[in-house]
Amino acid sequence: MRGELTTKGKATRSRIVAGAAAVLREKGVGSARLDDIMARTSASKSQLFHYFPEGKDELLVAVAQFEADQVLEDQQPYLGRLDSWEAWEQWRDVVIERYEVQGDECPLGSLFHQVGRSTPGARAIVIELMRRWQENLAAGIRSLQATGQLPATLDVDTRAAALLAAIQGGVSILLSTGRSAHLRAALGQGIADLRRAGTAGP
C-alpha cells in the first residue's frame, strides 16, 4: 500500500495530474502518450509509476477527478453565491460560455470512455460531481427562499435536480451537434420557471 505523501510529494503529484490534463486536452485521450506527459511535466517514468503505481489507468482516473473539479471551479464565484436573480443570470452566462468554448469535445467524457466507467473510482467521480453541483444549486434556491424571493414551500431538491438535468441535456446535444442553442434554451427556461415560482400567487 502506498504511504501518505509528503507535502512536496502531493505538490509533485498535483503537478503531474495538471500537466497530464493539459496534454490530454491538446492531443486527445487516445493519442496522448506517457512520453508526452513526461515531457510536459518534467517527470521521469519512475516518478510516474511512483505516484501512479497501477499505471496509465490510475493516472487517467486522477485526471478525470481533476477535470470534474474543474467543471465546478469554472463556474465560480457565481455557483457559490446564487443569492439574487442577477447572480443566477451571471452563472447561466458562465455555464453557457464554458461549454461553448469547450465545444464538441468533452475531456471528462473522453477519459471515462478510455478507462471505462466500471474502473474503480470512475463512477464515483461522476456521482460526486453531480451531488456537489446539485447541492450548490439547492443552496442558491434556499438563499432566495431566505430573502423571500421564492416561497418556502418550493421543493428545493426537485428544482435543483431539474436544473442540473437541463444542463446535462443541453450539453449532451452540444457534444453531438456542436451547437449550444439547446443548452441556452434549457438553462434559460429552467431559471425563468424558477423565477415565476417566486411571483405566483398562493
Q: How far apart are CA 118 and CA 101, in angstroms?
A: 29
Looking from the CA of 151 toward its CB, the CA atoms found within 13 Å total 11
Closest among 7, 44, 28 to 16, alpha carbons compared: 44
Q: What is the pLDDT of residues 62-116, one digit of tens each?
A: 999 999 999 999 999 999 999 999 999 999 999 999 999 988 878 888 787 777 6
Chain-wide mean pLDDT for the chain? 90
The stretch 193-200 carries a mean pLDDT of: 87
Q: How far apart are CA 83 and CA 149, in angstroms?
A: 9
CB atoms within 10 A of CB 88: 22
Q: What is the pLDDT of residues 101-128, one digit of tens each?
A: 988 878 888 787 777 666 768 889 989 9
Whether 3 has a pLDDT exceeding 70, the answer reads: no
Distances (CA, A) of 107 to 9, 26, 147, 166: 26, 10, 38, 20
pLDDT (0 to 100) of residue 1: 38
Whether 57 has a pLDDT exceeding 80, the answer reads: yes
Q: How far apart are CA 155 and CA 186, in angstroms?
A: 19
**pTM beyond 0.75, yes or no:** yes
